């Protein structure tokens, strides 16, 4: 149980285009989902917290207009990187919190390369 | 949330127990100790968590000192697949925001 699916696992795009990443909780309802970014040899950095049906809460320094988060249902959250640039190239990871226990279950991550 | 201190790296022989320490001397009474790990190029994986009692599950055991200022994650029979970065995180029960340090890079050697 507690499986989180993240898609795509790898994406290459041209500078200026937008990329959407999906995060789904497959066997549980996730009231809260999180989006992280990880640069090589660094730890995970929380970008934003999203609760179903409400606006996401972004961490300081994360541009909400550039990283659009939608959490329309209890099993799906999406992150859209708008007008991507090479500096947005990174490993993006989502996680979902179950209702009953304060445990985050993580997706496999999406490696984004912007050319 | 309380800050944690972990060794940067550790080595362990395959089949032996891996004991990963974590110091959290400023932990508060309502804060839990969580352990996650991240295998290279994958999303993190939850391992175990506890408040003050020792805990065991199919993956590992968590030993928390009586004063709760430190803990040890034990992988009883480490395998090559346990090579990963292990993160010790302290989190209050009503807080869902994980703050990630640099963790301990565990290398399990054949």
CA dihedral sign of residues A44, A104, B43, A109? negative
| pLDDT tens string A2-20 | 899 999 999 999 999 999 9
Cα–chain-centroid distance for residue A45? 11
Q: Out of A34, A95, A109, whose CB is closest to B42?
A: A109
**A33, A57, A103, A107 from A7: Cα distances, Å:** 15, 22, 21, 9
Q: Out of A45, A49, A106, whose CB is closest to B44?
A: A106
Q: How far is A35 from chain B (nearest CA, A)?
A: 11
DSSP A2-56: --EEEE-SEEEE-TT--EEEEEEESSS--SEEEEEEE-TTS--EEEEEEETTS--
Q: How far is B93 from chain A (nearest CA, A)?
A: 7
Q: How far is B44 from chain A (nearest CA, A)?
A: 6
Mean pLDDT, rounded, for A79-104: 91
**pLDDT over threshold 80, residue A115:** yes
pLDDT band (50, 70, 90) for residue A109: very high
**A15, A26, A115, B45 from A85: Cα distances, Å:** 5, 31, 7, 29
**Which residues of B fall below an 8 Å CB-CB distance to A?**
32, 34, 36, 38, 41-46, 49, 87, 91, 93, 96-103
* Phi, psi at A58, each rounded to 5°: -95, 145
pLDDT band (50, 70, 90) for residue B95: confident
**pLDDT over threshold 70, residue B16:** yes
* Phi, psi at B102, each rounded to 5°: -90, -15
Answer whether A102 sits within 8 Å of B43, measured CB to CB.
no
Answer with the residue of higher pLDDT: A30 or B82.
Answer: B82
**pLDDT over threshold 90, residue B74:** yes
A5 touching chain B per CB within 8 A:
no
Spatial distance between the Cα atoms of A38 and B43, rounded to a whole number of angstroms: 10
Residue A84: the pLDDT is 96
Residue A63: the pLDDT is 94
Spatial distance between the Cα atoms of B94 and A95, rounded to a whole number of angstroms: 17
Chain B nearest-CA residue for A108:
B43
Q: How far is B9 from chain A (nearest CA, A)?
A: 13
CA dihedral sign of residues B99, A21, A30, A74? positive
Chain B nearest-CA residue for A49:
B97
């Amino acid at each position: 149980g507690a499986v989180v699916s993240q898609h795509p696992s790898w994406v290459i795009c041209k500078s200026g285009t937008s990329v959407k990443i999906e995060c789904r909780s497959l066997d549980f309802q996730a009231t809260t989902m999180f989006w992280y970014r990880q640069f090589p040899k660094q730890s995970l950095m929380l970008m934003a917290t999203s609760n179903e049906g409400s606006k996401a809460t972004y961490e300081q320094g994360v541009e909400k207009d550039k990283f659009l988060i939608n959490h329309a249902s209890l099993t799906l959250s999406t992150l859209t990187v708008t007008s991507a640039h090479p500096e947005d190239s990174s490993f993006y990871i989502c996680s979902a919190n179950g209702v009953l226990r304060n445990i985050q279950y993580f997706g496999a991550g999406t490696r984004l390369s912007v050319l | 949330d309380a800050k944690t201190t972990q060794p940067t790296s550790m080595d362990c022989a395959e089949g032996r127990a891996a004991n990963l320490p974590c110091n959290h001397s400023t932990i508060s009474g309502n804060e839990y100790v969580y352990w996650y790990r991240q295998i290279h190029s994958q999303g993190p994986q939850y391992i175990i968590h506890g408040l003050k009692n020792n805990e065991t599950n199919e993956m590992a055991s968590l030993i928390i000192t009586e004063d709760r200022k430190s803990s040890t994650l034990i992988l009883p029979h480490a395998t090559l697949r346990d090579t990963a970065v292990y993160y010790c995180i302290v989190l209050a029960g009503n807080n869902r925001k994980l703050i990630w340090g640099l963790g301990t890079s565990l290398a399990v050697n054949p």
